[in-house]
């Protein structure tokens, strides 16, 4: 079974631009979550999608958005990039909706650098 895939793996953008990251979950998984990892803040939850609906949202500004398609693939978008958005963006998928029942499987991440 293929794991969680994320594209692209590396990305360089400049301030003010926008970026779209993609995540393909494990086949059969309906929940996709996004996390941001930075040296200073650690791993922080961005949002979770389940059956094309955003179910949870972390404490990030509205510049961060996402969506999920009917095949469970998900994209996240960051508009008006800032230097502080430089981070590793991780996507995780799980079978259903409960962290206590189904552990999340993480992709390798997309390393975003904002210049």
Partner 1 sequence: DQQVKQNSPSLSVQEGRISILNCDYTNSMFDYFLWYKKYPAEGPTFLISISSIKDKNEDGRFTVFLNKSAKHLSLHIVPSQPGDSAVYFCAASGEDNAGNMLTFGGGTRLMVKP
Q: What residues numbered 59-98 form the site for partner 1, per CB under 8 A?
A: 90, 92, 94, 97-98
Please say which residue, 48 or 85, places its beta carbon nearer to partner 1. 48
CB 35, min distance to partner 1, A: 8
Q: How far apart are CA 103 and CA 43, in angstroms?
A: 16
Any idea which residue has 């003010």 for tokens?
16
Q: How far apart are CA 27 and CA 79, in angstroms?
A: 29
- Contact flag: residue 33 with partner 1 (CB under 8 A): yes
In contact, 38 and 13? CB cutoff 8 Å: no
Among positive and negative, which fits the CA dihedral 97, 29, 69, 46?
A: positive
- Which of 77, 103, 113, 115 contacts partner 1 by CB under 8 A? 103
**Residues in the site for partner 1, rule: CB under 8 A?**
4, 31, 33, 35, 42-45, 48, 50, 55-56, 58, 90, 92, 94, 97-100, 103-109
């Amino acid at each position: 079974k293929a794991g969680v895939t994320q594209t692209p793996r590396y990305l360089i953008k400049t301030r003010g631009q926008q970026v779209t990251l993609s995540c393909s979950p494990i086949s059969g998984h309906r929940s996709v979550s996004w996390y941001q990892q930075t040296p200073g803040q650690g791993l922080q939850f961005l949002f979770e999608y389940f059956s094309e609906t955003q179910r949870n949202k972390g404490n990030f500004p509205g510049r961060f958005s996402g969506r999920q398609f009917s095949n469970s693939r998900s994209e996240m978008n960051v508009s008006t990039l800032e230097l502080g958005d430089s981070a590793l963006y991780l996507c995780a998928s799980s079978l259903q909706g409960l962290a206590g029942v189904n552990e999340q499987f993480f992709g390798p991440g997309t390393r975003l650098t904002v210049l």
